[in-house]
Structure 1
């Protein structure tokens, strides 16, 4: 009796372990007779495309379902009982193959063949290259695998490891021993071949013959001439005295480039380079034209006033100091808006009254505006009362209190401030209630008792009254 009980306990334990261990692997215990492979769609697709298998009792575990195209195992993306999504494998070997599905002990074959679509080449670039340069093929249906040779350059089949693969893009390098000429490029997958519409021309080494014009302004376009310069602007590097220039276009024998903003000298050598080739230099130096200041938008105003310089050959850059009012140079980065033909600048703060020549300096060459800029500063002759408390009405007399260039409310950029006479600290602004060019009425702000300096500001021009104001409780 005890022996029977022991056997019963052992059997119960084993059954419990089997159920516990197999709870997440129900696909492995699927009854082969219950599994069905009904169909798949689409019937034709590119390598790398997703197709759907329709069936019954396919389970829910992608790792328990094996799908093959011929003898090549495909990647199962997802499975959910009645369907499974799989990827057409990169290493498929023939264009027409049967599909086979295996799950648990079931092994089922499709009732029809899957047909592989031939690869498609949509574009190839660049189409003018040097030996050893990279060529990019874009399209569809390529192998994302290096196991097979799939690209033919002219009559040379490129080794699989020499091509950077992808289902929609292939990167290859022109054979180093390729001689100048035009070559057809084709892709073959599972016996299906497609050839690019454009031929790839292999050229000889580049030649830099010269450039026109010999002199130009910053921002101007000049033309470089030569041979075998390629057709891809991104692959041609051009510099003016070591400063990189923008290449606008290139067409084998010529390239259009922009004289760079950051050029540092007025006479520089132009150099070009193409990946894999030696740096080539111009025989003659390029001569930069000096900037020209044709006019100023204002010729009279206050410090802080925005003035537009109109001309050509200016730097469209914040990296250099280029504008000066007399000997006062505007710091780099402080130009409000740079441009090749216009510079918007602010008249330097706290300039004394007077006329200042306005100049632009580029690469050591200086141009001066035909008219000087006259700086106006306000003046204070008197104010009353000499003492008072909060909200006392003060009247200030003087000159140049209104900026006639200001487009807002009259006197809107005029201010009156009160600062501690001894330290210049604790500055407070008063409320301007009325203003003419020679008189200001202002309400005294709340201050600490003491002696204060009264300052009038218009834009960034400031003047302080000689007399002091005494604030009383």
Structure 2
């Protein structure tokens, strides 16, 4: 089956390839906005006379002759035919040997394939394809043996022909690179006929190299040195040219050694070289040769090979980011911070100091490093120093405190109340395992760490007043890691704020607007308190009384009541809140604002109690003492309940009331909890 290719002009948007068969069984491929890669794989034959034809083999040529252009040197050839894999061209009159270039729809392939036109003057080789002004360049070919008077050789940048160095032969002639020549094409005319010069991009006119100095004038065997200068590695217009290697040589008397040039890192302005690892200590004269010449230097380049540093130890094998690490070395004479490079994996560390006398190199672990193991490396004056067993370093996780055993103490979100001898357990990560690298303080008091792991630190509250935040200061990290505040817990201390919420008038209401009130704005639901008033009506859960009405800032009392919107009797109504309290002896005081247990006409019966119970708070107003502790309300006054907890416990604090008559009530306007000591101490 025959395939026909139609190359369409680029469209605004890329379109897919469309394939179809026509009536003659041909496959029509519509290459819409595609970029087939044109390749040239050879020519056949490679020589012939004017008027002869030859074939260019390759891929993706298409079939449209108008879309194909072929040149031989500077001469355009006639395209006879085009198929997908072959282009047939014809050699015109006046053509001379030249390299083949193919252009298909603007995609140009410049090749090294040359067609030689027989019977015509032809240059098939130029050697070398680079040179300094005054260098001899040889042109080789055939049919060249005419008088030198018939030759015109023009280098780019010149208007006068270069002089031939001798009479030409049939196979070659030579010229010198003239003054004023610059890199670019060479134009050749023989007997007024243009003759192609087989240079794909042009001839390179070299500039003499100069060396301005060494990056360092002293270092170690096996270290790296850079030779600075100009025109040390110029780019050539022609590609794939085989060149002499760049050489850096060190001589000490008759002892001569050659450095290894890192050609990938070497540029036109700098030659990077690695000195031999077996160089003896002493002074060496450095000489440089580029690929084109030995470079003259005004003053000798002198490099001093020093005794290689030896690392005796590294101060730590693990540390936090930002910490100091010290390399203890010998043979650091003449070394400064600029000579030292330390890498933690792929990250370079800051070298903070070098003390050649003591042999200490101090660096900071990069703050950008994540926790984990990294390879540690040390380079001094370009020399990689063997670290042996110290070559692996562990970066500890950035220290942070995630928790403190606050539940063992009376506490709120920011502060815990502690006593002398209490154990403080600080949980977190990145603490390390060496207590010498950590300073623990409670406020301004430094505290001894009794146990440490990477995730936990334990200490005891010391004697004396401890008032302030927990802080951990780690070696090499300037900013302390802060934890919660500690305050001393003393007998008789008011700890209400650490036990209860919303515990005094004006109590905080949950009401947001008039719709959240009952009894014309007199009652609302209190925040943080559970109200069980058995009302079975719209007054259920309402236990905060406001005076003036609707005033959110006038929650004067928490109350249980009958009548005035509530049911006419109440059995074991309760208002309480749950809280977790650690071991100790406590005193609960409730201030009664109003109390009328007998109600209307003083004919009913009723009772109320201030209570501490477990979290279920199923206590009754009368009967046996079926709770942790309770005290009956017997008037408008302070009611006191003493209770003891043997361990941390979830408890309920509140009051309970039962009334048989209308217009009965009990109301509290504040609560207070005091710590009374610990009978177990």
Alignment TM-score > 0.5, same fold: no
TM-score (ref. length: structure 2): 0.23
TM (norm. structure 1) is: 0.32
Q: State the structure with bigger RCO (CA 8 A, min sep 6), 1 or 2.
A: 1
Larger Rg: 2
